[in-house]
Amino acid sequence: MFNYKGVEIEDTFAEIFPMWVGRVLVTADSEKWALTAARNATGFASSIIMSPAEAGIEGLVPREETPDGRPGALIQIYQRDRGSLKQQLIARIGQCVMTCPTTAAFDGLPKAKRRLKVGRALSIFGDGFQERTEVYGRRMWRIPVMEGEFLVEDRFGTMKAVAGGAFLIMAQNSRAGLEAAEAAVKAISEGVKYVILPFPGGICRSGSKAGSMKYKLPASTNHPFCPTLRKTLPDSRVPEGVNSVYEIVINGLDMDVVKKGMEIGIKAAVEIPGVLRISAVNFGGRLGPYKAHLKEILGL
């Protein structure tokens, strides 16, 4: 255990694991509709444990930086293998972006060596009326829809990325814990590129451990970190005085950006009165091969 700005930092690490990622730039006539499509396309995607993917909004893109000169939003979608990722890209772009007013979908990883034929698969929705075209310096498909046409890039890049960079915020009460978690999310979202926070509002309150002691489940509640069980569990990891624990989970294109997100998030969280300890969850290497040590991240 060591101290950082009056808050205990546990000398532990987060386990981080590799996943395949796709990155989609959604543009629309307005920021409102770009964000609407992005939010819908990243729904039900907090954790690969039970969701069909992990996904989130990376950030907004000004019209000056998009291929078609319209407001945009970048999203990232993660899966364990390329085949499953391709299906998720097709489903989410097809159901949540193509259906949304005024949108277009562009590849957000143009330099990636591996390519997925996402636009080509979506084009058959055009029922023979689709058209392949070169526009904005990209190979696109024009798919006729009732509003006009939906433009989608022919192929989308994919690459190995990392998921599960996480830390725990332990606080005196839920008000302080939530305020600290919100401060961490804000700092990460504004200060780090190429990352997403897949849980609702960037915050996870449930926590999970690998497997289950009683049921046939891939994951179950992380009971050692549940404050209400502190007095009844011999292996409780909740310190005296802590009555609320929140977890911040970060996925990103590489380890450096995930570690940067953890650093910025922790530094923002410890500024909130009532935060007593920062920790992390790991399972002895069973979850992922990469380690992010809190001490190293904070430069201590």
The whole-model pTM stands at 0.95
pLDDT of amino acid 285 = 65
- Mean per-residue pLDDT, 198-204: 98
29, 180, 212 from 149: Cα distances, Å: 13, 44, 49
pLDDT tens per residue, range 220-241: 999 999 999 999 999 999 999 9
What percentage of the chain carries pLDDT values higher than 70?
Answer: 99
Q: Concatenated DSSP letters for 106-129?
A: EES-TT-SEEE-HHHHHHGGGTT-
For position 263, which CATH number holds? 3.30.70.520
pLDDT tens per residue, range 82-124: 999 999 999 999 999 999 999 999 999 999 999 999 999 999 9
Q: Are residues 206 and 79 in the same domain?
A: no
Q: Are residues 153 and 166 in the same domain?
A: no
- Mean per-residue pLDDT, 270-283: 95
Query: 210 falls in which pLDDT band (50, 70, 90)?
Result: confident
Q: Which of 120, 136, 159 is the last residue of a domain?
A: 159
Q: Are residues 215 and 292 in the same domain?
A: yes
Q: Which of 159, 177, 204 is the last residue of a domain?
A: 159
Q: Are residues 165 and 286 in the same domain?
A: yes
Q: Which of 141, 159, 177 is the last residue of a domain?
A: 159
Domain that holds residue 117: 19-159
22, 175, 244, 293 from 65: Cα distances, Å: 19, 39, 41, 36
